[in-house]
Amino acid sequence: MPRPFHVLGFGALAIDDIIYVDRVLTAGKGKVTERSTEHGGNVATALVAVARLGGGAAFIGWLNDQPSTDVGGDQLKRDGVDISLAPRHPSARPIRSVITVGPDGDRFIAYDDDVLHGTLEALPDEVLMQAPVLLIDGYSVHSQSVVARARSLGLSIVADIEWTAGPATDRIVALADHLVLPISFARSYTDESDPASILEKLWSAGRSAVVLTDGDRGSYVRQKDDASLWHVPAHAVPAIDTTGAGDCFHGAYALALAEGKRPLDCVTYATAAAAISVTAHGGRRGLPDNRTCQAWMTGESAPVPRALDADTRSKSAPE
């Protein structure tokens, strides 16, 4: 049946105080060149990316029940994300973060996440059926039963996990049929180092895809019913600010998945979106539209996915 949205999501909703400095973060000290306050959060920014790309996105995590204090929800609405399905609670508020960004675009995030996480346990099935894809992050450990119900209802679960809360995270990882993880977390979680071994260790019979994102080194992909493991190179672009690039990647991936694309094509689309997003300051200012993404994907310098065994042969070939 037709569904009004492409992607639903619940997870981090944040307000970020961003400080730009004139030296790399390892320099020890430097001067502030710019300050700004932006709205962010893994899932929230990913949903905004979906909306910017032309998709229908709805936030179904906790929002405050007082209009005067619902700053996070109001901004999501202004950014094109539907909030009408979100449960309300008087103590709900965004995470507060302080982000330091160096001249190379690298950043350090310090956050206070002592807030109400997850979503309403009794969220109706009718709400979950409003989209074919549910996007979650590590805070979904607070609402595992909702994720399980969404999976049983046939939704694709795209999981963006950056840290572990022990067995609860293990449960979420098992429920997700599309694991889209930073490779740094995947290495620590699996105790493996090379991408092929990590992809193998994270694979299971119920998995549709495992994707490892590795910044300007690109992404690694294993997808169902495909004997090859893939490397998708990143676009060569001078980064101004990498804040929100991973969130943009997840949003673009989820939208492409909702449109019926196979995981490798979802990654190719998300790679272009994330590259464009780092060309502007802040986590949301650089989020692209679909036309720009398509232009980057079809340009002469667009990276081409390669099977990992082909990459290995190329690197080992004599010069």
Domain that holds residue 40: 8-316
Residue in this structure with the two tokens 């709400």, named with its chain if needed: 127
Q: Which residues pair with 35 in a beta bridge?
A: 19
Residue 2 within a domain: no
Residue 309 within a domain: yes
Edge-to-edge strand ranges of the sheet holding 7-10: 57-59, 7-10, 133-137, 156-160, 178-182, 209-213, 219-223, 229-232, 306-307
Residue 70 within a domain: yes
CA distances to 91, 100, 198, 229, 266 from 224, rounded to whole Å, are 42, 39, 16, 10, 13
Q: How many CB atoms within 10 Å of residue 66?
A: 10
Residue 39 within a domain: yes
Q: How far apart are CA 211 and CA 230, in angstroms?
A: 9
- pLDDT for residue 72: 83
CA distances to 111, 157, 252 from 226, rounded to whole Å, are 39, 20, 22
Residue 162 within a domain: yes
Q: In the numeric block, which tokens belong to residue 44?
A: 């929230």
Based on the structure, what is the number of domains in the chain? 1
Residue 3 within a domain: no
Spatial contact of 159 and 136, defined as CB atoms under 8 Å apart: yes
Q: Is the dihedral of CA 183, 189, 193, 199 positive or negative?
A: negative
Paired sense of beta strands 107-112 and 209-213, if any: unpaired
Q: How far apart are CA 181 and CA 229, in angstroms?
A: 16
Amino acid at 112: D
CA distances to 40, 140, 266, 286 from 104, rounded to whole Å, are 20, 32, 27, 16
Residue 1 within a domain: no
CA distances to 40, 113, 204, 264 from 225, rounded to whole Å, are 36, 39, 12, 12
Spatial contact of 141 and 277, defined as CB atoms under 8 Å apart: no
Q: How far apart are CA 317 and CA 129, in angstroms?
A: 51
Q: Is the dihedral of CA 48, 278, 241, 221 positive or negative?
A: positive
- pLDDT for residue 267: 98
Residue 134 within a domain: yes
CA 64 and chain centroid, separation: 23
Q: How far apart are CA 104 and CA 35, in angstroms?
A: 16
- CATH number at 67 reads 3.40.1190.20
- pLDDT for residue 310: 52
pLDDT truncated to tens, each residue of the chain (319 aa)? 679 999 999 998 999 898 999 999 999 899 999 998 889 899 999 999 999 999 999 999 999 998 777 788 899 999 999 999 999 999 999 999 899 989 988 889 899 999 999 999 999 999 999 999 999 999 999 999 999 999 999 999 999 999 999 999 999 999 999 999 999 999 999 999 999 999 999 999 999 999 999 999 999 999 999 999 999 999 988 888 777 899 999 999 999 999 999 999 999 999 999 999 988 887 788 899 999 999 999 888 888 999 987 554 344 333 3
